[in-house]
Amino acid sequence: MQAPDIKSEDLGDGFVRITAPKYIVEIPKGWEVGRETSFGQREYMGTDGEMGTMTGSAKGSNWDRLYQTSLYFIRRSMKGEPTPYKIVKAKQGYEAMTFNMMYEERPVARYVILMNDKEEILALSVKIPSKAKQKEMEKAFQRMVDTAKMR
């Protein structure tokens, strides 16, 4: 199933480029693309895991506030302890915040929030279902992060 508001392009290397109204990302081929919710969230589901995107505005906010707001919602749906966040420069040039949720000494989710110069954000996430799938999911997520562009 493909959401009606996106365009999908097969890249021929096991990934597809998803062009949504507000952003572009690359995800593994064969994954289901969910509909965008009224608050800008979309899920991408594969047999091995789940990734997500969320768009929004950060006007008048800062990284500390974005981190605390993110944790409020994450903790409602997931067990674990967050790592401190880091501010980095993403491959596409955006300023970005990164952090993980840890449970039983392993990452169970990773988060990257990209911010453009208009203070718009694109939050990216991956759930890591097991230690056996960790490398595979992290590789797919890194591709999503490295190719993410806000439109």
Segment 19-53, tens digit of pLDDT: 999 999 999 999 999 999 988 999 999 988 899 99
Instruction: Give mean pLDDT, residues 4-24.
Output: 96
List, for residues 91-117, the tens digit of each pLDDT value.
999 999 999 999 999 999 999 999 999
Residue 2 belongs to some domain of the structure: no
Q: Residue 56: give its domain's CATH number.
A: 3.40.1000.10
Complete DSSP assignment for 21-89: SSEEEEEETT-EEPPPPTTSEEEEE-SS-EEEEEEEE-TT--HHHHHHHHHHHHHHH--SEEPPPEEEE
**Domain span including residue 143:** 7-150
Domain assignment present for residue 20? The answer is: yes
Look at the chain and report how many structural domains it folds into.
1
d(CA 29, CA 26): 9
Question: Regarding beta strands 149-150 and 106-115, do their DSSP bridges make them parallel or antiparallel, or are they unpaired?
Answer: unpaired
Q: Which amino acid is at 37?
A: T
